[in-house]
Amino acid sequence: MANQSFFNGINSDGVFPLVNININNDTNLKLNEDQYEVYVNDYFVGHKTLKNPGEKLSDIDGFLHNQGLSDFSTSLDGDHYQIQTNDQDNITDALSVYFNNR
């Protein structure tokens, strides 16, 4: 098998050689940033991108606490960050400011 000749991509045995061609060059690239979709009571409010090593999703919680909002709970489901609250309007408004300033 070491002395096989190729003609139009087919070796002398009539078999196509295995070739790994990556048509979409970016399929093997790892993203440098993690991105999460943020929801308040199942209502999409924005994207949180972790750009720096020190950033974390709980930064959102800290921002809300700094705005005087504390009646909420959070959970992570894949890339969806869920915020559950009885104070949806105030939290949604605060997060609108948060995402617009980022």
The whole-number pLDDT of residue 65 equals 96
**Sequence ranges of the domains in the chain:** 31-100
The whole-number pLDDT of residue 66 equals 96
* Successive 10-residue mean pLDDT values, the chain, 102 residues: 54 58 48 85 94 90 96 95 96 93 74
31-100 is a CATH 3.90.1070 domain = yes
The whole-number pLDDT of residue 59 equals 94
Q: Which residues pair with 83 in a beta bridge?
A: 40, 74
The whole-number pLDDT of residue 29 equals 44
Q: Which residues contact 79 (CB under 8 A, 6 or more apart)?
A: 34, 35, 36, 37
Helix (H, G, I), strand (E, B) or coil at 99: helix
The whole-number pLDDT of residue 27 equals 45
Confirm whether pTM is higher than 0.75.
no
Give CA–CA dist 45/99, Å, rounded.
8
